[in-house]
Structure 1
């Protein structure tokens, strides 16, 4: 294994003294060469070395917490060096890195350093994170923070430019006393299959890559954020928000605002203000490396009769129609179109593959509440944009990612991973496709009504199910199923009630109000294995009481009658239990009505991998994470209203 490393200590000293080496091309050459492609054998040797090194996980929680805090401080002290590194490598202004992205990384690391002392854990394993050149450095906090606090090591699979930042971060970690190979980096050009098949625990993404998928995948995918502007908004502030979130890259995650929807009563006024501001308030664009993408968008606009406007500095507006595609994320352009009413605005914003964020501008409390509730995203900003905090959890929806990030729930998503995913043991028997389709369709039809019922009513209906188990346990008991197994249903049911899982929270947060609400994921499918001790009662209870509808594929034949009668105690479609089969599993995964599939097995390659697969442990914290979405609604108190 041979690759040329950047001397990070030299870079730091040079940058801080602002005395550059005479031959700048030497630095650029090193940048492109230090992450070299490795042979399969070299990669296996490296992964084996990393896996055997457990010094980090063997440290006490207090020591890990102390080192994480020192690590954050060292990064904070090197802020000028990071800024210069970004200026030299990415050739962009460094104001955002110095004022927002790097401080947010430091803040996130400190949050998990504190959390490390409160939650006593010491896991062994490896977390893999894939980064691209477009990754924002603040994203690293959501991998490094919870992974290191938990006791895992971190391996970055990186592009050359981002690799320079990682190599610098590694040097800072070693400086404060991190054991070697606690944080490592390899080139994205390496054979990723070798990485995936090794002792990897969790995969963290910043973008979807077909070569880099796993049933244990977590990820944040940078996609395009919609902005909705109503006639009751402060138009000047709304224009500034569009400019900052579209062209100035002011977001912690690279989810830029490219689609702006404006109420038709103020459309012309808004367009005039926006044109004036982008002509006189924005900076001149640097070298445009996206001319081909932009040219294609211009051709599409011309073909579809969409008006275009180009500012003095090259910023492009597409007026009156939707032209933007996901490939245009880095191009200097935005699409502006009009809407007539509130529901049309919501439909336009939800009509895309992203479910990460949206910005809403209005000073009408009723509109703000209604729109925030209906938007299918995990972050809603009212009269603001791009607000995050490490202690606030979010869950990407649709194609914008998978998993929980931030807060205690983000910590638990790594902590309670399923260690015991088994090989497939079920018989590949035939099945009736119409049965699985009927069950999923019934669940899909029942779920909207079931989720709208108050939780107290759901609990009352579920209590009938518990009484049924109490009264009929002798009917289903046998040598393999003890009375304790049946008693656990009642115990877990009351545990769920007592814990008051997932309430909505309204709390002040500095200059903003934050409303945190939880919503069901929809139609869930779960596998129950032939080992009854693995039947996840907590998953079934939490899924249903949170407002989901659940289809169970059961492999333990002797309990099929029990589960059939159990499902009859609830409204039609809320719970259905079918015999497990390979074909039924494949049909459920491929069915578009299924929102999440909890699997107990290693995924068969013929079945393929998709973002529906999710492993879940038998722990309340993990189960409650996995069956619901979190939505954060940030409202700007300074604009004169609360949500």
Structure 2
């Protein structure tokens, strides 16, 4: 770093650079607590009748740095069925709140033991494990408060399929909302993560959790049978599960699903950024926590005019990074899993073949080297996914739009890191980047009270915050007061027509999806006030024709009045749903964006149907309604005429007439559709093509169903006034 003073150039060095170059020798982590705990643990198995099953298939997990073999005993199929079918825990909301908070304290008291186990079992540095553990504890405390305010309970048992490469704080997302909602949790864990799952179960029972509240199914379990078990009311998958860890699994699942897949994200560096801090952030963002985080960094896009300077600074950081085993206390990065070493070498060789420059750390303490490819992405050439390789690619871009386009085409939507000192540019990017989290001058910031929407290849559903809890409440009930006698639609056929409003549209499945995509692209561009104005105009038109519409359709006037009043009620409810919070050295701004196209299954209760349709439209989505009842066909014909009067864009509101049972299932196959609101169905989905299934009877969760959150984290520094 230099400073011009007349003709003299004064060189200075940051304190951070001084500490980076200092050599303290080797300091080893104290792992005595973990060693003692492991030695006392005879085996890890499925707990039944207060004993550990002593039979079944055994898997051996050797802890890193110790010679203690840990036996993981997989349960037999009949024992799996018995454990799943065990009686549910019966506890009040107050009891759940108190016990969740007590568990958070117990985890805090045992933080040293937990971090030591992460060092030994999964090779994760203690400092990285501690950071993730703090977030886990925050989630339990957040949901302890939520449990006290809600006495509703989820149906069935919550099944969590957890892979060895899961991030530690995921247990906060697994245990917190499910236990707060009154559900028991089954942890189906791969061998290494079974160690931590066992400890968490022990600590939960120590503070008073019922025996069946957390149930463990470790090791090798038949997932096909487990996912289809009728006692499973909810499923969440964390890690490389969907088509990854179980590539041959074509199981159908009946229960709603949350999934967090192991993907990676991008970083954008502009020419007005603090390049020193940005290049320094790459190290931890790309290789921290042994790369198990689903938001680890895989590509850095740098503005062209500072590309060479940034690469030089990054190379300097790489040359000084300290790589070592996880039990080396001063290591910056721990080695990745052995299976990734071959993949890294494969990528390096391919990069050299196509003429790309490769930067690697010079550390000799490990076979693993932090690796950066300059100028291009070669993963497709070697048929590898970004999540399978601990390599960072650095490329140049010229203009803002180019950076936006490259980023928004990224498969993972968990988060993007943006580095700029220009506040106007930061605000513009925050609005246009299509990610659940936008980190300004920072990376991988999360909060238990802020929801993260899982989109595209990042997964399905919500984790964290109130939205994360809403995912678990799927047992609403239809209100009686606004129902009327409707019979099933007769069998008939309507040819597809172009869909201009004013005509009743009997679209096929495919044409309805195409029309909805076009309508959504126009509809989402306006703000909520613009959309409310159009919906209010629709209400005026409905009010003026109410008596005639009721006579023609058989829909009572008081139900038509509900459409009108709901338009105003939901606008008042949703007009201001943003949130701003000061948290440590960051300000978090949370906004709501439309999900896209919402498929809504018709309900016997028109009030709940109207809530879902109007709420979805008001918040910027297009809708496809699946018509099941003959008596409502004339009503939809009237609505189409009113839409034309109100000048709605074509394709925003769609109805597929006379739907059969297979219509819903056929829509599940469309990639453009990922949110379905249903009232009675439990659709069968393949594990590799999971959609978000929402219970339309839960009107309190409507905002969560039809919007996705975007959290913008802005760093405000650490200075103290």
Which TM-score applies when normalising by structure 2? 0.79
Contact (CA 8 Å) 2:320, 2:361: kept in 1 or not?
no
CA deviation after TM superposition for structure 1 residue 360, in Å: 0.4
CA deviation after TM superposition for structure 1 residue 459, in Å: 1.5
581-590 vs 306-315, greater mean Cα deviation = 581-590
Q: 1:474 to 1:102 in 2, by over 3 A?
A: same
Task: Indicate the SS of the match to 2:179.
Answer: helix
Partner of 1:291 in structure 2? 341
Partner of 1:267 in structure 2? 307
Query: Partners in 2 of 1:426 and 1:553 — Cα distance?
Result: 12
1:34 aligns with 2:65: no
Query: Partners in 1 of 2:354 and 2:170 — Cα distance?
Result: 37
Q: 1:315 to 1:426 in 2, by over 3 A?
A: farther
103-112 vs 243-252, greater mean Cα deviation = 243-252
Contact (CA 8 Å) 1:72, 1:106: kept in 2 or not?
yes
Query: Partners in 1 of 2:142 and 2:664 — Cα distance?
Result: 40
553-562 vs 600-609, greater mean Cα deviation = 600-609
2:522 aligns with one of 443, 449, 471: 449
Contact (CA 8 Å) 1:47, 1:198: kept in 2 or not?
no
Q: 1:65 to 1:367 in 2, by over 3 A?
A: same
Q: 1:480 to 1:381 in 2, by over 3 A?
A: same
2:706 aligns with one of 613, 622, 627: 627
Query: Partners in 2 of 1:412 and 1:613 — Cα distance?
Result: 12
**Residue correspondence of structure 1 range 84-123 to structure 2 within 5 A:** 84-98=116-130, 100-123=131-154
Query: Partners in 2 of 1:609 and 1:246 — Cα distance?
Result: 27
Q: 1:514 to 1:13 in 2, by over 3 A?
A: closer
2:593 aligns with one of 502, 516, 519: 519
Contact (CA 8 Å) 1:417, 1:615: kept in 2 or not?
no
1:53 aligns with 2:97: no
Q: 1:602 to 1:498 in 2, by over 3 A?
A: closer
Partner of 1:323 in structure 2? 378
2:185 aligns with one of 136, 143, 154: 154
Task: Indicate the SS of the match to 1:141.
Answer: helix
Query: Partners in 1 of 2:166 and 2:425 — Cα distance?
Result: 34
Query: Partners in 1 of 2:704 and 2:213 — Cα distance?
Result: 27
CA deviation after TM superposition for structure 1 residue 13, in Å: 12
Partner of 1:402 in structure 2? 460
Q: Deviations over 1:505-554 (max 9, x none)?
A: 3343332111111111122222215x355862111011100011112111
Contact (CA 8 Å) 2:679, 2:696: kept in 1 or not?
no
Q: Deviations over 1:285-327 (max 9, x none)?
A: 5376112211332243234332222221322111100234773
Contact (CA 8 Å) 2:74, 2:218: kept in 1 or not?
yes
Q: Deviations over 1:53-102 (max 9, x none)?
A: 332xxx2222221111111111111111112212221133222112x111
Task: Indicate the SS of the match to 2:417.
Answer: strand
Contact (CA 8 Å) 2:628, 2:658: kept in 1 or not?
yes
Query: Partners in 1 of 2:666 and 2:35 — Cα distance?
Result: 62
Query: Partners in 2 of 1:440 and 1:251 — Cα distance?
Result: 38
Partner of 1:209 in structure 2? 242
Q: 1:250 to 1:22 in 2, by over 3 A?
A: closer
1:227 aligns with 2:267: yes
1:67 aligns with one of 76, 88, 99: 99
1:178 aligns with 2:215: no
Query: Partners in 1 of 2:372 and 2:625 — Cα distance?
Result: 49
Partner of 1:615 in structure 2? 694
Can you give the 5+ residue segments of structure 2 that lack an aligned partner in the other structure? Answer: 1-29, 43-59, 244-248, 325-333, 364-368, 479-487, 498-506
508-517 vs 539-548, greater mean Cα deviation = 508-517
2:429 aligns with one of 371, 375, 380: 371
Q: 1:217 to 1:429 in 2, by over 3 A?
A: farther
Q: Which has the larger radius of gyration?
A: 2
Can you give the 5+ residue segments of structure 1 that lack an aligned partner in the other structure? Answer: 1-11
Partner of 2:25 in structure 1? none
435-444 vs 314-323, greater mean Cα deviation = 435-444
Partner of 2:5 in structure 1? none
Q: Deviations over 1:392-429 (max 9, x none)?
A: 11212211011122222222221245689xxxx99997
Query: Partners in 1 of 2:322 and 2:491 — Cα distance?
Result: 62
Query: Partners in 2 of 1:364 and 1:621 — Cα distance?
Result: 39
Give the paired residue count: 617
Query: Partners in 2 of 1:223 and 1:183 — Cα distance?
Result: 28
**Residue correspondence of structure 1 range 203-602 to structure 2 within 5 A:** 203-207=235-239, 208-210=241-243, 211=249, 213-214=253-254, 216-249=256-289, 253-284=293-324, 285-286=334-335, 289=338, 290-313=340-363, 314-324=369-379, 327-329=385-387, 331-416=389-474, 435-436=507-508, 437-470=510-543, 471-473=545-547, 475-476=549-550, 481-501=555-575, 503-529=577-603, 531-532=604-605, 536-570=609-643, 571=648, 572-582=650-660, 584-600=663-679, 602=681
CA deviation after TM superposition for structure 1 residue 615, in Å: 2.3
Contact (CA 8 Å) 2:448, 2:464: kept in 1 or not?
yes
Per residue, is there more helix in 1 or in 2? 1
597-606 vs 551-560, greater mean Cα deviation = 597-606
Q: 1:505 to 1:627 in 2, by over 3 A?
A: same
Q: Deviations over 1:622-642 (max 9, x none)?
A: 1111111110000111299xx
Which TM-score applies when normalising by structure 1? 0.88
Query: Partners in 2 of 1:164 and 1:607 — Cα distance?
Result: 29
Contact (CA 8 Å) 2:254, 2:685: kept in 1 or not?
no
Contact (CA 8 Å) 2:242, 2:687: kept in 1 or not?
no
2:715 aligns with one of 632, 636, 641: 636
Task: Indicate the SS of the match to 2:85.
Answer: helix
Query: Partners in 2 of 1:306 and 1:139 — Cα distance?
Result: 37
Query: Partners in 1 of 2:375 and 2:475 — Cα distance?
Result: 47
Query: Partners in 2 of 1:247 and 1:479 — Cα distance?
Result: 63
Query: Partners in 2 of 1:497 and 1:72 — Cα distance?
Result: 38
Q: 1:27 to 1:587 in 2, by over 3 A?
A: closer
Query: Partners in 1 of 2:651 and 2:472 — Cα distance?
Result: 32
Contact (CA 8 Å) 2:290, 2:336: kept in 1 or not?
no
1:168 aligns with one of 199, 213, 216: 199
Task: Indicate the SS of the match to 2:263.
Answer: coil
Contact (CA 8 Å) 2:265, 2:410: kept in 1 or not?
no
CA deviation after TM superposition for structure 1 residue 247, in Å: 1.4
Partner of 1:4 in structure 2? none
Task: Indicate the SS of the match to 1:441.
Answer: helix
Query: Partners in 1 of 2:653 and 2:337 — Cα distance?
Result: 54
Q: Deviations over 1:359-402 (max 9, x none)?
A: 00000112211222121110010000111111111212211011
Query: Partners in 1 of 2:323 and 2:137 — Cα distance?
Result: 28
